[in-house]
Amino acid sequence: MCGIAGILGVTDPEAAEREVRAMIERIAHRGPNGIRVESGPGWCVAHARLSIIDLEGGWQPLHAAGSTIIGNGEIYNYIELTEDFGLGDKLATGSDFEPLLHLYALEGEKAFERLRGMYAFCLIGGDGRTWLVRDGFGIKPLWTNARHTGFAFASEPNAFANTHNSQFGAEELLALGYSAQRHGGRVEPGEVIPFSSAHPRGSEDPGFLRTAGESEGSVKNTWVLASARMSGNEGEILDHLDAILEDSVKVHQRSDVPYGLFLSGGIDSTAIATLMSRLNARPVTAFTCGFDAPEARDERGAAERIAKALNLDWRETTFGEEDFWRIAPQVARFLDDPTTDYACLPTYKLAEAAKGTLTVVLSGEGGDELFGGYGRYRRALRPSWLGGRPAEPQIDAPFLKDKGAAALARWRQAADAPDDYTPLQQAQYADIVTWLPNDLLLKLDRMLMAHGLEGRTPFLDKEVAAFAFNLPDRMKVRGKYGKYILRKWLERHCPAAEPWAKKKGFTVPVASWIAPRAGDLGPRIAAVRGVAEVCDVEAVRAVFTDEKQAHNRWPLMFFALWSLIHVEGAEPAAALKSLLGEA
């Protein structure tokens, strides 16, 4: 996990290097172990390193087989690739990225399809071609930006400076909680973009052709490896699940620095904890965040029960009202690509607590999407006369000028699934290409990188994904239960998880913390330029006086903070003080 930045198509090397150095400094929090900047013919790149594998020799950019690479993330199957292709004698480092350079020399861009991991990288090939590549789920971020000095890329849009505007997906953010559309230079999950220095300047994407031998804007969804349905009886499928999950957790633990996990007490994180406990001789360190508020779901009881059963080194931290007002502006600061998901708040606090103890954190993101865990999936499978409805966002944004209609239309376009998918798979696909990369994975990346931690997601291994997505529907949703086969697996391997107990929704009591100040916050939030541009100002004020709309206060407050910080240039603490009338 690191931060990368660079400029391609460079014609003024000195100007490009100054700009690249400024870019990497803006995202230096992603790589607390050091920064390196390097230039070559027509390019300049920079790397802010968080040392995970080969602490001494893994510095980037890396050079081998005539090519150069700079990357963010981890390639988990680098050991297997090294063995399968006989690369051992050719490697100068133990870096997980170096084998890719040798594979590229052997088979060109086909090598990208062999990768198992989370990554965003720029590969400058010895064959004269240059590539920007992002992993199939979008676990690692990547952005591009056309500049007078060349074509820039970076791990976060903040690296580019002064590129935000108040229309930065604002309607979608306030309607959906995230932006599902391509905007502002975001490279899409699974996208493989070749660079051509001969590409005409002044085009929408100067220097880059968003094609990999396909139509413009093509995206390779590499998370589904096969369309064949998984077969076998339940016992055989459980055995296969056990083997494939264990293998994923095993490779996700590859690290030369301390690793552990975030444990919520739910199905997904408990499955990860169960396998980590099996694979490690020493107790695995696990962190849980709880809330000292009566209306919030406190996960500490379930997490402690599981930790005792699995002999984990369990650490708990709490999140209270004081944390909310301290952390909220910092969350807005680090979410330069924004999401209003209030789960960012405890995730930030967990990362803050884990820093100094852990460097790598495994987490359960992706379990619901791949194994069919959400209640909306079950509703989508019911007939309308039994309360069934499509598994699409239920928008409640009366303060938006268009009430969220345009955002929903764009979501439907982005979420359009292949016709041969079952109705359940279509609902899963919609979440995998919208909600997962633009909310859940964005949250994990930004909140952990704010503290120099690496987040890893074993469920989003492409081997696990191909297995889970292609399971028969009855192995995912059965009766009132989602994640059926995962619950059966936990029943066998960690009964302390109580996998058939009714799941309680995750909540953070933000409405209660905002309520005492709502009357003062409303008019000031309504007056923020970014808010006024997309919202009905009177309707925004009404949100802060009508208790029935209290659930909409956090999204509006977050967007106001975000706009003040990223559009108007305010410091995080000053942005909050201005909304509270304390400036």
Q: Print the SS3 string covering 136-164.
A: CCCCCCCEEEEECCEEEEECCHHHHCCCC
In sign, the C-alpha dihedral spanning 529, 535, 539, 540 is negative
Q: In what order do the strands lie in the sheet with 454-456?
A: 313-319, 285-291, 259-262, 360-362, 454-456
Contact 99, 117 (CB under 8 A): no
pLDDT at position 162 is 65
466 and 226 Cβ atoms separated by less than 8 Å: yes
pLDDT value at position 166?
Answer: 44
Which are the contacts of 330, defined by CB distance < 8 A and separation ≥ 6?
A: 348, 450, 572
Phi-psi region of 578 (alpha: psi -120 to 50; beta: other; left: phi over 0): alpha
pTM for the model: 0.94
Predicted confidence at residue 327, as pLDDT, reads 98
Segments of the chain with pLDDT less than 70:
1, 162-168, 181-184, 197-230, 295-296, 504-505
- Tell me where in the chain the CATH 3.40.50.620 domain(s) lie: 234-497
Q: How many CB atoms lie within 10 A of CB 166?
A: 18
Q: Tell me, rounded to whole angstroms, the distance of Cα 291 from its chain centroid.
A: 24
CATH 3.60.20.10 domain range(s) in the chain: 2-155+191-195
Residue type (1 letter), 497: A
Supply the DSSP symbol for 461: S
Has domain 2-155+191-195 been given CATH number 3.30.540.10? no
Contact 178, 442 (CB under 8 A): yes
Report d(CA 203, CA 117) in Å as an integer.
Answer: 33
| Whole-number pLDDT of residue 458 | 98
| CATH topology classification for 234-497 | Rossmann fold (3.40.50)
Packing angle between helix 572-580 and helix 518-527, nearest 10 degrees?
110
pLDDT of residue 164: 57
H/E stretch holding 228: none
